[in-house]
Structure 1
Amino acid sequence: MTFKLLPVEQFLANLAAKQPTPGGGAAAAIGASIGSAAASMAASYTQRKKDKESGAAERAESLIVALEVSSLLQAADDDAVAYADLQRTWSKDSNGMSVEEKAAIEARALAIPTKLLETCHSRILQIHNFLPHCNPNIQSDAKVGMHQLAGAARAAYQTVLVNSPPEEDKVRLIKLLNDIREMEDEILKLAC
């Protein structure tokens, strides 16, 4: 099943159903795509004459390219495939599977949410850096994008944890999450 082609209502019904996919990883990826789209809209509105003169429009165009959603939508599908493969390693039929094949499947199941969290962090940082140049009339939508991406990053981290990452990966990802939290606190005016 390709989640990116489903109507939103159908995706949500599938997510709520008692079935293994879509699950939390796909939900995180779809959430990240929504956040990217919201921030991209804010960049699209930063195209006024004064934005072009100040260079803000050029920054906005670069941000729009960086916030493409197709890779995030693909991550939702990739997560579902990775989880189905992972389930095969747990079945009785997996006895014919080599140790290397099992390890590769487990590594892929961990790599997808890890990459998603890293992508969310990168996009939040780009949006954060763009905020001073954003059309102030729509800056709140860029911030909504940051919050949505932050939620997706935290959701991806939960999927990472289920896949038993090495301790050094957890430490690195926690640093990214703390960085995200600081940027969120700043835009919410919660920083002390």
Structure 2
Amino acid sequence: MATSSQQIGKFVHSLAAKQPTPGGGAAAAVGAAIGASAASMAAAYTQRKKDIESGAAAKAQALIDSIHLEDLLKVADDDAEAYADLQRTWKDSSLSDEDKASIEARALAVPTTLVEKCHSHILAIQEFLPHCNPNIISDAKVGIHQLAGAARAAFQTVMVNKPSVDERKRLHGLLQEIRQAEDELLKPDE
């Protein structure tokens, strides 16, 4: 059953079971979707009359439009499919080296894409924060923290799939930018 069609309780229990999928990659994707949802909700509440007049509502709508929750949830299913194919490469001696390389590349691409999506969403939310309805800004910040955790989790899945040194460095750079965004949110009020 597609992750997006499952109740959260069923997904959580499936994740906890002794079975190969869903696994860490799916957990990261669902975490990202939850974070993006929290930020979207904050943007949805930034639609008051004064938000429309100040232009904040337009910025909020732009954030909402940039977040595609189904795409994030689909990563959970893509991860399960990529892992199943990867397991096949360990057992099926009839696969060509070219087929194995293609499957391995996809297993790496799925979590890499999730790190990139989390990074992109975090930057968009960070840009929106000064315009957010102050009564619900904590939810937008929750979105950043949840997406940051999802990005770090996806990075661990990337690492299992043995990326090149250059790719590791590039993704680590994205994680550093994410950390900076989080650090800004965690500064005590002065």
TM-score, reference length from structure 1? 0.97
Pair 1:61-2:61 in alignment? yes
Structure 2 residue runs without a partner (length 5+): none
Q: Deviations over 1:7-65 (max 9, x none)?
A: 11000000000000000000000000000000000000000111001111001001001
Residue equivalent to 1:99: 97
- Report the Cα distance in structure 2 between the residues aligned to 1:184 and 1:120, rounded to whole angstroms: 13
Pair 1:16-2:9 in alignment? no
Pair 1:171-2:176 in alignment? no
Residue 124 of structure 1 and its aligned partner are, at CA, apart by 0.2
Describe the SS at the equivalent of 2:93.
helix
| Farther off after superposition, 155-164 or 63-72 | 63-72
- Report the Cα distance in structure 2 between the residues aligned to 1:3 and 1:119, rounded to whole angstroms: 18
- Report the Cα distance in structure 1 between the residues aligned to 2:6 and 2:70, rounded to whole angstroms: 14
RMSD (Å) for aligned C-alpha atoms: 1.0
Residue equivalent to 2:77: 77
Identity of aligned residues (%): 64
- Report the Cα distance in structure 1 between the residues aligned to 2:75 and 2:35, rounded to whole angstroms: 15
Residue 4 of structure 1 and its aligned partner are, at CA, apart by 1.4
Residue equivalent to 2:5: 5
- Report the Cα distance in structure 1 between the residues aligned to 2:42 and 2:168, rounded to whole angstroms: 33
Describe the SS at the equivalent of 2:135.
coil
Residue 95 of structure 1 and its aligned partner are, at CA, apart by 1.2
Residue 67 of structure 1 and its aligned partner are, at CA, apart by 1.5
- Report the Cα distance in structure 2 between the residues aligned to 1:84 and 1:100, rounded to whole angstroms: 17
- Report the Cα distance in structure 2 between the residues aligned to 1:3 and 1:53, rounded to whole angstroms: 39
Report 1:39-188 matches (<5 A): 39-91=39-91, 94-188=92-186
Aligned letter for 1:4? S
Describe the SS at the equivalent of 1:18.
coil
Describe the SS at the equivalent of 1:186.
helix
Aligned letter for 2:57? A
Describe the SS at the equivalent of 1:87.
helix
Residue 117 of structure 1 and its aligned partner are, at CA, apart by 0.1
Aligned letter for 1:87? Q
Residue equivalent to 1:28: 28
- Report the Cα distance in structure 2 between the residues aligned to 1:129 and 1:3, rounded to whole angstroms: 30
- Report the Cα distance in structure 2 between the residues aligned to 1:112 and 1:120, rounded to whole angstroms: 13
